[in-house]
Structure 1
């Protein structure tokens, strides 16, 4: 696939930038719990902060094309804060952040197109790029999974050196309508075990938003 290298080059700066920009995080200590059922319809997953349970909720992102479950306490990062944290045109389109800004979940559309069966090779090539440009402290590997909604997602996990502490990073790569989508999850390495269930929930809750039946019928009528 001669065009695969072009996809890698087009994403290299964006991927490197998204990860590097997260190095301004500070540490946080907390515990996460989750229910056994990780299905998309399940809404009673909860984040435990001491004695307080904070639920997760579904959010519609990327112009209504994708839905994902994130902690209800997470909010979209204000534009001014996003410009400071990601001072480049390559900043993610969607940035959900914890109340203290130490944990971030981001999503981006890219200009690259990819067939679903090419995803495993694409993930490995992106992993090679990351290893060449990031200050990797601990490489945790790659994986391609099919989540509970049937979406194939490539995962790249590693710990990178931050400004003052190491950061756990999880890169998500998947396709929607043939277009490559990219997500990131990051937190301090010291909080990694606590936050991993939330990262897992993010991965397994991702799914394309179905068009309402009425909308589909209207489009069909218009074409008659």
Structure 2
């Protein structure tokens, strides 16, 4: 228990910096919400999501030197380093930041130096949830749960809606273990876009997998260089 408490404290600054940046910098844009299941259909084969009059193709990406694979909307780009430095000014900014063209939807991944055993993940997730509740302006606490996705990866999911500068924001934090160390992932968007984008976030979570060391491909490093 003491060990986990120390690990939580070491991550607290990182979580606060990242969550504050997400909540402060996202700006709302007009968005037509979904009105029916037909508008939010998914083609499993093509991995295409239809949102209103737009469609988003999800494609596999490998990140963190090819160690993690995940499906990300094809139109999402790595955030330029200059923008990432401005949005996440501290040393705790995520290593990988994908963002929509408007900058209103972000997907991030960050490795940590926190060693963690699989059996410790549920307790760690609950403590992280307590940290988030203590530091975030929570509007609606959705909950925390441990899932096993399609690749067999155990993922702690912490979901909540927090107050932001220009409206409430939906936040989804992912906690998973790679080679004995904790990794953090996030998905966030405006609350008004939440219903439309939840199927995309769900697919992203289900697609997340650890790539065996022998199979490391060439990968995108993270934030785009200047």
Per-residue CA deviations over 1:108-132 (Å, capped at 9, x if unaligned) read 0011010001111000000000111
How many residue pairs get matched?
A: 209
Give the aligned partner of residue 35 of structure 1.
Answer: 42
Give the match for residue 221 of structure 1: none
Deviation string 1:123-175 (CA, Å, 9 cap, x unpaired) is 00000001111111110000000000000000000011101201100000000
Cα-Cα RMSD: 1.8
Q: Distance in 2 between matches of 1:34 and 1:145?
A: 23
**Divergent runs of 4+, >3 A:** 30-37, 49-52
Once the two structures are TM-superposed, the CA of residue 88 in structure 1 deviates from its matched residue by 1.1
The TM-score with structure 2 as length reference comes to: 0.87
* Greater Cα offset, 9-18 or 28-37: 28-37
CA distance in 2, matches of 1:193, 1:120: 27
**CA distance change for structure 1 residues 36 and 52 in 2, over 3 Å: closer, same or farther?**
closer
> Is the radius of gyration larger for structure 1 or structure 2?
1
Q: Is 1:27–1:191's contact at 8 Å kept on the other side of the alignment? A: no
Secondary structure in structure 1 of the residue aligned to 2:111: strand
Q: Which runs of 5+ in 1 are unaligned?
A: 216-224
Query: Alpha-carbon deviation of 1:2?
Result: 2.3
1:71-94: per-residue Cα shift (whole Å, max 9, x none)?
000000000010111111111000
Q: 1:111 aligns with which of 110, 113, 124?
A: 113
- Establish whether residue 21 from structure 1 lines up as the match of residue 28 from structure 2: no
Aligned to 1:156: 158
Deviation string 1:5-48 (CA, Å, 9 cap, x unpaired) is 111011111111111101211224155735375xxxx5x11233
Query: Matched residues in 1 for 2:116 and 2:168: separation?
Result: 32
Closer/same/farther in 2, CA of residues 51 and 36 from structure 1, 3 Å limit? closer
Are positions 1:3 and 2:3 aligned together?
yes
Distance (whole Å) between structure 1 residues aligned to residue 43 and residue 102 of structure 2? 28
Unaligned runs of 5+ in 2: 218-226
Q: Tell me the equivalent position of 1:12.
A: 12
Q: Which has the higher contact order (CA 8 A, sep 6+)?
A: 2
Normalising by the residue count of structure 1, what TM-score does the alignment of the two structures yield? Answer: 0.88
